[in-house]
Amino acid sequence: MTERTPLLHYRLSASINESGEHHSESGQEALDQPPSAARRRSANSQPQKLSTFFGVVIPTLLSMFSVVVFLRIGFVVGQCGLYQAVAMFLVAYFIISMTVLSVCAISTNGALDAGGAYYMISRALGPEFGGSIGIMFFFANVCGSALYVLGLVEAVLATFGISEDGTADSSSRYEVLPVSYWWSLLYATAILLVCLLVCLVGAWIYAKATFLIFLVVMVVLGTIFISFFAVKPQTVTLPGHLTNSSTTANFTGFKVETLFRNLRADYTVDYTTGKMMSFATVFAVMFNGCTGIMAGSNISGDLKNPSYAIPRGTITAVIFTFIIYNLLSLLVACTCDR
């Protein structure tokens, strides 16, 4: 016990005191019962724990596969080019790798209990630092949840929402949802309430829900990769947010000329905001897709073996998302014209 772990010392001393107080009462009970009955009773009394895949890999993957994957990969490649896009991913993943390695070092160096990032930071730096950083981490999760929910609402309304002038497009039979600021707020609130109910039920229901969402995300990613090869060249009309006019984009299919044109940066005015883009602004948008690495560590109390699951699951998820992001950037650069 040479390591400075105030919370660990506290928990161990509390456990020893409790075991000393209840030793005389539980000793006679344990002697009167057969070992098999005692094991069954202890197994039934404890909540079901999560494995590495369900408890760490899936939550981390879903947290890192944010709105950037589905809404902003083309924006990143179109503005900064393939070279700078790959450089951005390298810089972003270098930053989060330092955090991942720190989490792995703390989680494998001693006992790990419930509390997630707060518990690990408190063990390493003390409760004062753990509490202050935990508060900031809480507000970061609040802002991240808002980002993910608003991204989902935006994607749903882009497909099923009625146009802002109140008329439905005759060529689309799916435009059934009203669109306005308050309607978007209502949709986001309903989605957050569903997420809250799932979290209140318990960790195992949360794992089942995230696994279903994980299957949906993997199917969607598979269709995205297939669409690059199956869809024929065409011109896509983009909605104009600032003016009544529309902006068009060309899907050229796999062409060497398209790849060469998309290699270097070409920062222009964003048609949705009317502001000039730069490396810093594009990197700020892209970096949101590299966060969420603490999703598995936050539920350390619900894991079977957190010291084993957190480092292996987090590193697996980080490597997988890095490969997917770079593959998508390469395919977009080869098939989509600016």
What secondary structure does DSSP assign to 150-209, as a single string? HHHHHHHHHHHBPPTTS---TT-S---B--SHHHHHHHHHHHHHHHHHHHHH-HHHHHHH
Quick count: other Cβ atoms within 10 Å of Cβ 189?
A: 12
pLDDT tens for the chain, 338 residues long, are: 444 444 444 444 544 454 444 444 444 444 455 544 444 444 444 556 777 888 888 888 888 887 767 778 888 898 999 999 999 999 999 999 998 888 888 777 766 666 667 777 777 777 777 778 778 878 888 887 887 888 888 888 877 888 665 555 444 557 788 888 888 899 999 999 988 888 788 667 777 888 888 998 899 889 989 999 988 888 877 765 555 556 778 888 888 998 999 999 888 888 777 788 888 999 988 887 787 788 777 777 777 888 888 888 889 999 999 999 999 999 999 998 87
Residues 80, 88 contacting (CB under 8 angstroms): yes
Distance CA 205, CA 138 (A): 22
**Helix 181-201 and helix 127-160: axis angle, to 10°?**
130
Task: List all residues 6 or more positions away from 199 whose beta carbon is below 8 Å from its beta carbon.
Answer: 206
CA dist 80 and 287 (Å) reads 14
Give CA–CA dist 327/10, Å, rounded: 48
Helix (H, G, I), strand (E, B), or coil: what is residue 321?
helix
